[in-house]
Structure 1
Amino acid sequence: MSSQYRKAGKKEKGRILDEVVSLTGYNRWYAVELLGGDGRVIHVGRRVRLVGDLRKRTKRGRQRFYGAAVLEGLRRIWAIMDCICGKRLVAILPEVIPILERHQEIVLDEDTREKLRLISAATIDRLLAPERKKYELRGRSGTKPGTLLKHQIPIRTFADWDEKQVGFMEMDLVGHDGGDGSGDFCQTLDMTDVASGWTETEAVANKAQVWVFEALQSIRSRLPFTLLGIDSDNGGEFINSHLLRFCKQERITFTRGRAGKKNDGCFVEQKNYSVVRRAVGYARYDSPAQLRLLNDLYGHLRLYTNYFQPVMKLISKEREGAKVRKKYDQPKTPYRRLLEMPELSPKMRRHLRSEYESLNPAQLKRDIGLLQERLVKTAARRRRTSISTTIHQQTGNEARPV
């Protein structure tokens, strides 16, 4: 529009200028400069002809204050300091630079050292933004949303949960994909009682509703208390008409957490790591033999965890400015917490005491260790077989004539 603007009269220029300002949002005087300068030809002497082109920009006239040497030193220190943020790094720079230089971890000239002493937290974050982006971790979730049936299941948050009555359990699935989400692989159904911390786990072949439902019934049959309520995430393996109908028939309260709010299931999320991941790790388990090993391991683990592993429960949390004070109760095993529950029947108390007296925690630990070794060996063997098959296929394809 610049050529039209320069050829137009005063009123037409005003109309074009109004249109440009409304389209771009530019300041009116800046728009005048753009329309009047772009494409304008200026003759300087007889041989020099200048044509205005606003698409071409001139280079910076001055050098960067924080040059390549500063950026390289900053990157090195940032990596050594575990890639902390700018506000934390700028506070430790005066202290850590002499230490690193004394141990010959970095070599800085006087100018670079002085600039690192003057650098601000915002500048650190700006300079390191490309490096930080390289190391961003992107989490993977195996939870696929359920159907519209979830609108029939009420939402609750962890603050609304009554943790004083035994029988209300949170449940979740832990996937054993080993970093490869393709195909079917084993899943662990993890259920944790909010009041006592009693935890039950059972492995299933995949996330199919039928296997999850069977595992839920199996866990329910061996619970030392009556199952009064279950709370899950929004995955389709839980949010389905079959489970909802079962809970209505058995008069079991069925609730769900909010989508994307893992803290709504904070009790079971803690057990996902402290019980499941610490016991079986992060390898891929996808064979029937591995499924049997997982459930054999969980059979010993439930006794070891519930009878001999004390847990602490948060009593209160108070905020004093930026400081948060947390108070916990005395550590007790889920077994001891259950015995303190008044709603536990005398028959079940006798059963728990009898089972407790028959257990040897040292033997349980040895049995768990043996099963863990077998599980790890099967995972390593299947991984080697998979790699060998892949290499064989690739070499066979390369050798095949075209």
Structure 2
Amino acid sequence: MNDDQIKTIEQVREFLTGTSSVKFSPCSKEGCYKWIEGILIRFGYRSRTKTEKGLLLDFMEKVSGYSCIQIKRLVKKYLKTGRIKRRQRAPKGFTRRYTQEDIRLLARTDEIHGDLSGPAIKKICERAWRVFQDAGYERLAGISVSHLYNLRRSGTYRNIRAHFDKTRPKASKIGERRKPNPQGKPGYLRVDTVHQGDLDGIKGVYYINAVDEVTQYEILCSVERISERYLIPVLEMQITQFPFVILGFHTDNGSEYINKRVAGLLNKLLIELTKSRARRSNDNALVESKNGSIVRKHLGYGHIPQKWAPLVNEFLINHLNPYLNHHRPCFFPEIKTDS
């Protein structure tokens, strides 16, 4: 803007009156600062009255686009130094107080002392500097506990002290951990899996042994594998083989039974699923004893290839199960109620 023709206060007043609806914007800060300095010198700001100073302030505010506070700040600087010069410098920004060496030293300290808590490590750093005069701990001696944990989360620290927790086992929520109480009613099964041995790392057939707790009625079947594909059809068939309604299904904590597919099958049939309690080996003792007295006695311990599972299952259903339930005597408990 060329304002050389504005030389008096009256011209300033006329300019403000005629440009009340006009807005100005400076081209650069350096140019604007230089223009304001020139106006103050040209009109002799120091010797002007209060009213005239107000007109000059309004004039500079109007043309520069700065706020009234900023104009007064620049005028104050001019009155103090006689010049208005912009201090051109980049901001310093945030400087790092703790270096990479400090983080590496913290990692070594944690390793030596076994990953103590933040307050304990902070105290160790303080003693290393103040008591033992170790210059490496000079900066770490004044670190806060919260920032110590920030350094532990840094990439440099994790590269040195990478630590991975092992996967923690989680108890399955499928089934209830308790011993079933049939109260003398048939329909509460005890179920277990028996493996027919390995041969050079090759698995043999598996037996699914289901025994009723009260009547000792037993259904034994064989499968190639204990995966859901082979196990679910056999369990459905086993349940239909019993001559009474099945009310309970108790097993150990094996994943072949404690899974969503088996739980869904039993839930559809309104059968209660329970599983053995921890460190209670007697919870499933009935079927465990049947594994030895029936399965191992009649089928032995020798390896039977998995491909013969359908043929073995046919033998069990047509011959062994009828013999066990109709021709082979066995002991069973009698329930007596005290008077």
TM-score using structure 2 length: 0.46
Instruction: From the CA coordinates, give the structure whose radius of gyration is larger.
Output: 2
TM-score using structure 1 length: 0.39
Higher relative contact order (CA 8 A, sep 6+): 2
